[in-house]
Amino acid sequence: MIRKDKDFSLALCVITKNEENFIGGCIESVIDVVDEIILVDTGSTDSTKEIAFRYGAQVIEAVWEDDFSKVKNLALEYVNTDWIIFLDADERLHPEDKNKMLETISKCADNTEAILTKILNYQDIYCSVTGEIHSNYRIFKNKKSLRFVYPIHENLFNIEENRPPVSVISDIRIIHLGYINFITNKRQKSKRNITILERYLEKDPNDFFQNLNIAVEYYRLGDYEKALFHLLRVKEQFSVFNLSASRYLKFLILTYLQLGKYKEAYDIIITAKRFFTNVDNFDYHFLEILWYYYQNLFLICIKKIDELIQLIKKERENDKDIHIFNINSVIGLGEKEFKIIKAECYERLKKYKEVLNLFYEVAKEQSDIHFLFANLAQVLVKLYKYNRISRLLDMKYLSDIDKAVLIHTYLENRTDNEIEELIESLSSNLLKEYFKCIMFLRKGKWNEAIELAASRIKDDSNTEKEEFEFFYYIASLKLGNISSISEMFKDNKSIFVIDTLINKKFINQLESNSIKNVITALKKCNQRDLIDSIINNLKYYKDLKVTAETALYLYETYDKLKAIELMVHIVREDYLDYRVLYILADHLKRANEYHEAINFAEAALAINSSYVPTYILLYELYSALSLTQKVDFIIDKFCETYTGIDFNWLIENSSKYI
DSSP string, 337-377: HHHHHHHHHHHHTT-HHHHHHHHHHHHHH-S--TTHHHHHH
With a cut of 90, say whether residue 614 has pLDDT above it: yes
- Please tell me whether residue 154 adopts helix, strand or coil conformation: coil
Query: How many contiguous H segments (helices) and E segments (strands) does the chain have?
Result: 33, 10
Sequential DSSP letters for 7-23: SS-EEEEEEESS-TTTH
Confidence of residue 322 (pLDDT cuts 50, 70, 90): very low
Domain membership of residue 50 (yes or no) is yes
DSSP secondary structure letters along 27-40: HHTTTTT-SEEEEE
Name the β-bridge partners of 545: none
Last residue of a domain, one of 157, 180, 203: 180
360 burial (CB, 10 Å; 0-12 / 13-18 / 19+) is exposed
**Which of 139, 116, 136 has the alpha carbon at shortest distance from 6?**
139
Identify which has the larger pLDDT, 182 or 44: 44
Mean pLDDT of all residues belonging to the chain:
84
Residue 602: give its domain's CATH number: 1.25.40.10
Per-residue pLDDT tens for 461-484? Answer: 656 788 888 999 999 888 887 666
Q: State residue 159's pLDDT score.
A: 94
173 domain-assigned: yes
Highest-confidence range of 158-162, 317-321, 486-490, by mean pLDDT? 158-162
| Helix ranges (DSSP H) in 366-458 | 372-382, 386-393, 400-412, 419-424, 429-442, 446-458
What is the rounded radius of gyration, in angstroms, for the C-alpha atoms of the chain? 26
| CA-closest candidate to residue 297, choices 582, 621, 637 | 582
**3-state SS class at 524:** helix
Q: Which domain holds residue 613?
A: 576-656
State the alpha helices, DSSP H only, in 119-261.
127-130, 181-187, 189-203, 208-221, 224-233, 245-258
Please state the rounded mean pLDDT for residues 260-273. Answer: 93
Burial label for 80, CB within 10 Å (0-12, 13-18, 19+), is exposed
- Give, in order, the Cα–Cα distances in Å from 502 to each of 519, 537, 538, 570: 12, 7, 9, 19
CA distance to 174, 378, 427, per residue, from 24 (Å): 15, 27, 12
pLDDT surpasses 50 at 176? yes
CATH number at residue 106: 3.90.550.10
Which residues, in sequence order, are CB contacts of 250 under 8 Å at separation 6+?
A: 132, 283, 287, 330, 331
Q: How far is CA 589 from the centre of its chain?
A: 34
CB 590 within 8 A of CB 568: no
Give the chain's domain count: 2
Of 180, 197, 216, the last residue of a domain is 180
Q: Would you say residue 38 lies in a domain? A: yes
pLDDT at 279 over 70: no
Nearest-CA neighbor of 10 among 103, 73, 90? Answer: 103
Whole-structure pTM over 0.85, yes or no? no
Span 424-452, average pLDDT: 89
Ranking 208-212, 245-249, 339-343, 452-456 by mean pLDDT, the lowest is 339-343
Residue at 494 is within a domain: no
Q: Residues 521-526: contacts with CB within 8 Å, 24+ apart? A: 521/470, 521/494, 522/474, 522/498, 523/411, 523/412, 523/414, 523/557, 523/558, 524/408, 524/411, 524/412, 524/438, 525/438, 525/441, 525/442, 525/471, 525/474, 526/414, 526/441, 526/442
With 80 as the cut, is the pLDDT of residue 196 above it? yes
Residue 50 φ then ψ, to 5°: -60, -40
Burial of residue 492, with CB atoms counted within 10 A of its CB: 0-12 exposed, 13-18 middle, 19 or more buried: buried
DSSP category for residue 164: P
Check residues 395 and 63 and name the one with the higher pLDDT.
63
In a domain, 4, yes or no: no
Instruction: Give the pLDDT band of residue 321 (cuts 50, 70, 90).
Output: very low
Instruction: Please give the Cα distance from 312 to 280 (Å, whole number).
Output: 9
Per-residue pLDDT at 73: 97
Q: Confidence band (pLDDT; 50, 70, 90) for 420?
A: confident
Residue 251 · residue 258 · CB < 8 Å: no
Residue 134 lies in a domain: yes
* Average pLDDT for 249-258: 93
- Which residues is 12 bridged to in the sheet? 37, 85
Nearest to 578 by CA among 538, 626, 542, 618: 618
Would 153 be classed as within a structural domain? yes
- Is residue 527 situated within a structural domain? no
For the CA atoms of 204, 206, 212, 216, the dihedral, rounded to the nearest 10 degrees, stands at 70
Q: What is the pLDDT of residue 379?
A: 65
User: CA 622 → CA 541, 585, 611, 651, distances in Å?
Assistant: 36, 13, 17, 14
Q: To the nearest 10°, report the CA torsion of 24, 25, 30, 34.
A: -10
| Contacts (Cβ under 8 Å, ≥6 apart) of 357 | none
Q: Which of 123, 153, 180 is the last residue of a domain?
A: 180
Distance CA 219, CA 236 (A): 21
